[in-house]
Chain A
């Protein structure tokens, strides 16, 4: 299976701190995506990084991809209470997307 595995499963930080989540996967991929899910709601796409890219930024988000290690990291800088959510990585070699089980981030005000 190429299922991504996020690490840690849960993370609790203070507002203003940075949050880093990691994702590892098993097989070669075309792209890796990160999604956010607020409690019991649908997922929201955050960022996509292609297999030939090493780093990508979007606002307070920074994603890195290391295809040699089959891993990716998502960094959220200057976290806010509103960032409290679950974060999932999703990989695709061929459709469909395969999601990991997520990292539950709690940002304490």
Chain B
């Protein structure tokens, strides 16, 4: 089975712009979670989606949003980018909401200038 894929792998944006990141889960996995990783804050949970519904949301401002499609692929969007949004954004999939093991993609490295 192919693993979790994330596109793009690297992205450079300027302050004020918006960005959309994409995640394709492992085939058959219906739950997708997003995390932001920075040196200072570590891994922080952004959102979790299951069957196109957001089940959980982390403590991030409304500039961070996401969605999941019927094929379980997910996107996250960050609007009005700030320098502090520079981070590695990780997507993880799991079979369903009762599966504890998460399978991570390689991440998207976002740099905001």
Contacts and interface: CB of A to CB of B under 8 A. Distances in A.
Interface string B99-113: 011111111010000
A37 to B, nearest CB: 8
Interface residues of B, number: 23
Interface size class of A (residues with CB under 8 A): 20 to 34
Interface of B: 4, 33, 35, 42-43, 45, 48, 55-56, 58, 88, 90, 92, 97, 100-107, 109
Interface stretch (A55-63, A69-77, A92-100): A92-100
Contact of B105 (A40, A42, A48): A42
A48 B101 contact: yes
A20 interface: no
A101 interface: yes
B101 A99 contact: no
Contact of A96 (B45, B104, B105): B45
